[in-house]
């Protein structure tokens, strides 16, 4: 199970690839950062940084002419991921054109009935709809989900009578509809075979990245960065900026 180290507290440049086709091959051999990088890059306290050698095919660039692929792994029910999102948005705006950025929902340790799994399917649904005419709306709803899904889930878990998965799907579809997306299309895609396949592919890819907490950042399938489990920074805002600074250093150290 992936841990969210939580204390619960203008549109970026994103080039989304069809999620079900994004990953092909996964690898599992993780090492520490190589000495050549350790000489130039300081890893801040509380951050885990690992290197994969050879790089996992799952995280390599798929776009022609792209030098680096950056993947952020998140969970809508993770308070740190919610805090991290605005800073991540600003960071992506500052990256050069040869950097592709993709967000993936964490599915590690989830089952069909967990909120993590249900919310992950909702994100994939948004991204598919974003490619089908709802580009701006899908990004607005994506950010909205960080604020509304966890409170609704808490209500769902304590309601009488008990809430159902259909209630959750209906709620998420209604949130999308409030931003101008088609509610019926959201529910149809959410239940589609395409989303089923994407969940399998994402789970396989995330297994190869070997992260233990959220949010996590994967660079070119070669590096993963995340908060050390059970480490509590004094300020997560400052800590997340350190994570992004380290990510930027690794991006710029990738071979041309």
Domain count across the chain: 2
Q: What percent of the chain has pLDDT over 90?
A: 62
**Residue-level pLDDT at 158:** 85
In a domain? residue 64: yes
> Alpha-carbon distance 166 to 113, whole Å?
11
Q: Assess whether 100 and 111 both reside in one domain.
A: no
- Is 143 in the same domain as 192? yes
In this structure, the answer to whether residues 136 and 146 fall within a common structural domain is: yes
> Domain check: are 94 and 173 in the same one?
no
pLDDT at 245: 95
- Please state, in angstroms and as integers, the Cα–Cα distance from residue 248 to each residue in 54, 171, 193, 223, following that order: 21, 37, 36, 12
The reply to whether 97 and 218 lie within a common domain is yes
Q: pLDDT band at residue 10, thresholds of 50, 70 and 90?
A: very low
Lowest mean pLDDT among 1-5, 29-33, 160-164, 175-179: 29-33
Upper half-sphere CA count for residue 181 (Cβ side, 13 Å): 32
Q: Is the pLDDT of residue 246 over 60?
A: yes
In a domain? residue 95:
yes
pLDDT for 223 equals: 92
CA separation for the pair 58, 89 (Å, rounded): 23
Q: Are residues 159 and 169 in the same domain?
A: yes
pLDDT at residue 232 in the model = 93
Residue 194: pLDDT band by 50, 70, 90 thresholds?
Answer: very high
Same domain, 128 and 190: yes
What is the overall mean pLDDT for the chain? 84
Tens digits of per-residue pLDDT, 110-144? 888 899 999 999 999 999 999 999 999 999 999 99
Please indicate, yes or no, whether residues 132 and 206 belong to a single structural domain of this protein. Answer: yes
Does some domain include residue 195? yes
């Amino acid at each position: 199970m992936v841990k969210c180290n939580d204390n619960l507290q203008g549109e970026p440049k994103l080039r989304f690839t069809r999620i079900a086709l994004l990953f092909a091959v996964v690898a599992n051999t993780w090492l520490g950062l190589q000495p050549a990088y350790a000489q130039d890059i300081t890893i801040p306290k509380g951050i885990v940084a690992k290197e994969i050698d050879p790089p996992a095919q799952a995280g390599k660039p798929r776009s022609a002419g792209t030098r680096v692929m950056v993947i952020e792994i998140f969970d809508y029910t993770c308070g740190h991921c919610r805090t991290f999102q605005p800073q991540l948005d600003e960071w992506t705006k500052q990256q050069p054109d040869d950097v592709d950025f993709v967000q993936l929902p964490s599915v590690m340790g989830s089952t069909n009935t967990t909120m993590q799994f249900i919310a992950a399917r909702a994100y994939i649904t948004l991204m598919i709809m974003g490619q089908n005419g709802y580009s701006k709306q899908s990004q607005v709803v994506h950010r909205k989900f960080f604020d509304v899904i966890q409170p609704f889930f808490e209500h769902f878990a304590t309601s009488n009578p008990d809430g159902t998965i259909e209630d959750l799907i209906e709620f998420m579809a209604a949130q999308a509809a409030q931003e101008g997306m088609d509610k019926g299309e959201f529910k149809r895609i959410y239940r589609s075979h395409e989303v089923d396949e994407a969940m399998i592919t994402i789970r396989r890819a995330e297994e190869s990245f070997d992260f233990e907490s959220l949010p996590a950042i994967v660079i070119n399938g070669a590096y993963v960065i995340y908060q050390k489990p059970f480490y509590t920074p004094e300020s997560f805002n400052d800590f997340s900026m350190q994570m992004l600074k380290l990510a930027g250093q690794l991006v710029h150290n990738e071979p041309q």
